Amino acid sequence: METFTALKIVHSVATVLFVLSALGLAGWVIRGRFAGDALVQNRTLQLPWVLVWALMGLCMLTLPVSGWWLVHYGGWPLSQTWLLTAEVLYLFGSLSWLWLLVRLNRLRVPGATGNPKLTVALAVFSGLCFIAIAGLMGAKPV
């Protein structure tokens, strides 16, 4: 198999797994909140959900590496505006995802309190960053 095609497959699979994991977690939390469980987000770091977070982390480590190699093999200069914008969005999205993970880990302890609006804001901001990156990658305004 050609290297460029293999990299596109790896990058696509990592993206799909990341999105499906995020949607699964969000759906589980939203469904729990509508069912009246106000502390459902505190259980997102218990098995088997911790495996979903680990899969998301693995995908987040894979995406920049495979993306860089795709850009390298595709012959695009890294100085293009859409690539730089995607890199900045990825940095901020990843940092907010990591902050969200640390925050949820702290909320997991019984008796811990926190601002649920900040937790939701971190999740939404991270999600919007990754949606914007997907839009930039799909459009490839070269």
* pLDDT higher than 80, residue 141: no
Q: What global pTM score does this model have?
A: 0.87
Domain that holds residue 14: 3-139
pLDDT digits (tens, 9 = 90+) for 3-45: 999 999 999 999 999 999 999 998 998 898 899 887 787 788 7
Number of domains in the chain: 1
pLDDT recorded at residue 11: 93
Pair 100, 119: CB distance under 8 Å:
yes
pLDDT recorded at residue 111: 75
Q: How far is CA 79 from CA 83, 110, 127, 142, in A?
A: 7, 48, 25, 11
Q: How far apart are CA 120 and CA 72, in angstroms?
A: 36
Largest CA distance in the chain: 54
pLDDT recorded at residue 56: 94
* Alpha helices (H) along 1-142: 3-34, 49-74, 81-107, 116-139
pLDDT digits (tens, 9 = 90+) for 72-124: 998 888 889 999 999 999 999 999 999 999 998 888 877 777 788 898 899 99
Pair 70, 11: CB distance under 8 Å:
yes
